[in-house]
Amino acid sequence: MKVAVVGASGYAGQELLRIAGSHPDLEVVLATGDSAAGARVATHAPALAALYPDMVFAPTSELSEHDVDVAFLALPHGQSQNWVPELVARGVRVIDLGADYRLKDPDLYATWYGAQHRSRDLLGAAVYGLVERHRSELVDATLVAVPGCYPTATALALGPFFDAGVLSREGVIVNALSGVSGAGRAASERLHYPRLASNAEAYGLLTHRHTPEMQQELGAELLFTPHLVPISRGMLVSAYARPLDADLTSDGALALLADAYRDEPFVVVIDEPPTMKDPVGSNLCFVSARVDPRTGWLLAMSSIDNLVKGAAGQAVQALNVATRREETTGLARAGVTP
């Protein structure tokens, strides 16, 4: 398949280039990046030099001139809407890593993203690309909305419990730690090394834009607090909810997760708490759970690489399913260790 990676100069776009370069069925024929247009991919991202020794970033406007089968859009929120209607009309399969087609209620975009949605007619056509929860819907999908990194980790941790009807859908609390790459490649004072190093901070208090996405996927009311920590990549979620079943135990919670993910190639259920390090470099998600007999709360935990399972890897996984390929094609099932 001929592939365009739009926004390829950013971290998620670079990760798409890395994964696509090892995928037997994907040929990247266009990599766009307006801030890096004219620069060689190998110069901008030396780690990709062996895969793309001569490729040059093109301006995004060149997307209209290329005949491609698939367009991966790794653009800031609001920008995918400039391209998706045209691409869909041309018969190009679109895998959108941005936020523009994730929410089904168009009014939520005005509330959480500060602008009216400009292609509401396509919201209903977009399939949410969390494969473990929407696999059957993704088969033959032509417009895929790849979930955000926080919603991915949160939904994989909590989803089986809500599906089983054992949790209250009110008062859910989600705390998450994310590596700096989740903030994007652009420099800022908050990401300046002297401020970031040996530091940690909460951000997006009460207003983080992934909140409605989590609520939509889980059908629950939740309070979400993300934290930035000084590592390059990785994500760790700790989520708290009230069980409806007073007899639910830690062993029962782990058994429920193990049953839900028994046949999933990228979800690993473990007894011990997951760490941020274990999934780095892979498309894996590690999940675990505990029930506290003293307070009665369920604690569900998960960890992912925010750039792989939280972005580019999940996008390729969704494409594999949409095109009826083996789901694991081109994707790592082992993290980098140590």
Which tokens sit at 254?
């782990």
Direct distance between the N- and C-terminal alpha carbons of the chain, in angstroms, rounded to an integer: 35
Q: Please tell me the distance from the alpha carbon of residue 134 to that of residue 147, in angstroms, as a whole number.
A: 11
Give Cβ neighbours of residue 84 (< 8 Å, ≥ 6 apart): 73, 94, 96, 100, 101, 119, 122, 143
Backbone phi, then psi, for 159, in 5-degree steps?
Answer: -50, -50
Q: Which residue among 28, 88, 149, 256 is the active-site one?
A: 149
Length of the chain counted residue by residue = 338
Q: Would residue 285 show up in a list of annotated catalytic residues for this protein?
A: no
Place of tokens 């895998």: 95
Q: How many other CB atoms sit within 10 Å of the CB of residue 262?
A: 9
- By DSSP bridging, strand 285-291 and strand 298-304 are antiparallel
Give Cβ neighbours of residue 110 (< 8 Å, ≥ 6 apart): 116, 117
Using alpha carbons, select from 284, 249, 248 the residue that is nearest to residue 269. Answer: 284
Q: Please tell me the distance from the alpha carbon of residue 67 to that of residue 10, in angstroms, as a whole number.
A: 23
Positions annotated as catalytic residues are 149
